[in-house]
């Protein structure tokens, strides 16, 4: 999967995911947010992933629920640049046996985003620079 991020203007970026666009940021520091922050999107992704796995588990086990909600809370805010602990709370309105409860919890615990965050994930950053100047421009004068 490849997600392309494009700078729109100011502090605003666009993520292109398949046929969907997500806007994050704002025009400048004094303007209103035009979309969720990247950290909020990460937290939402964790909740969406856990929720989707919960819904799939219920569907595959023919368990009807009268509403499912997921709440994700960040538990430590000592370092504003990093979150170390999340609490994912899934509320299900359904009659569940102990076996179904254990299965549902196992399903939620194995969600894609949660597993990725828990495990030692490698991230490789690559920087490509395209100069706006052509080879004939004398860059020393700029």
pLDDT tens per residue across span 77-125: 777 778 888 999 999 999 999 999 999 999 999 999 999 999 878 888 8
pLDDT tens per residue across span 44-55: 999 999 999 999
Output the six-digit token pair for 13.
């970026």
Distances (CA, A) of 84 to 39, 49, 111, 118: 13, 18, 18, 10
């Amino acid at each position: 999967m490849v997600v392309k991020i494009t700078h729109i203007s100011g502090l605003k970026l666009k993520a292109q995911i398949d046929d969907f666009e997500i806007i994050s940021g704002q025009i400048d520091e004094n303007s209103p947010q035009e979309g969720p922050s990247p950290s909020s999107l990460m937290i939402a992704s964790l909740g969406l992933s856990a929720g989707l796995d919960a819904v799939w588990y219920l569907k595959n086990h023919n368990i009807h629920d009268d509403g499912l909600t997921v709440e994700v809370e960040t538990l430590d805010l000592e370092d504003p640049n990093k979150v170390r602990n999340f609490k994912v709370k899934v509320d299900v309105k359904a009659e569940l046996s102990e076996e179904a409860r254990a299965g549902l919890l196992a399903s939620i615990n194995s969600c894609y985003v949660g597993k990725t965050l828990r495990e030692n994930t490698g991230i490789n950053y690559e920087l490509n620079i395209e100069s706006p100047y052509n080879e004939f421009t004398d860059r020393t004068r700029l």
